Structure 1
């Protein structure tokens, strides 16, 4: 069966359930994909690297807590209309744990700088050349504490 996805591209699904319409089958597939994304997130980002208890109840409780965390993050993402991934939202939430909600939203919506700070090699060269040519006291340039990158 061929259906259109969200960007109107044809998408083929093979099935042996002929009782469902194409729309219903598309919805079932989207729900299944959301479950796959949940388990992917759970394996990658939840604290299930090891279980804190060995009993069945302890394992189930830990999985429930991770499920509640995931659902809470999804609800928060929808509420604040966050466009990036859940991991970014989770990290920002942890970083702003003891700050107000308004401060959290401000930091979440702040534009990110692209790339790291560039080193101004020309400026470093000019300053070093100036000190050497001026024949001033340059002994401090030999000190290991001095770092020209910080200038």
Structure 2
């Protein structure tokens, strides 16, 4: 955070604040875990101000990259409320919104308040013939693909 400065004329110049945070995965046991570096390399943070406008750079929504373990830093903020979202680039130019509408409050003293949101990519695979209680398939690998459908686009996915 840069400290506010009072000019000779008595005008207060507001501080520019840097918001830092981390995006984590939620494990099947409920514990949090750092992101896989390959996943983090394709994930981005976007912020909207209290009016709902994205923070922009050169006329486009500014994407803030994640570090290899999911950390991020957003510089140049002023006091107020922001909305944070996390997107994943599935292919060049196409992003999937993983987390949206997380409030980020920036106080005048530089204090930040971010609610906890986790990317929740786990589940249990079952054999349909054995049922949920006895048909769990250990070690199953599932690959999820993005479906570019009207429903997904309408829901911001």
Which protein is richer in helix relative to its size?
1
Bin for the TM-score computed over the shorter chain: under 0.3
Q: TM-score, normalised by structure 2?
A: 0.20
Higher relative contact order (CA 8 A, sep 6+): 2
Q: TM-score, normalised by structure 1?
A: 0.20
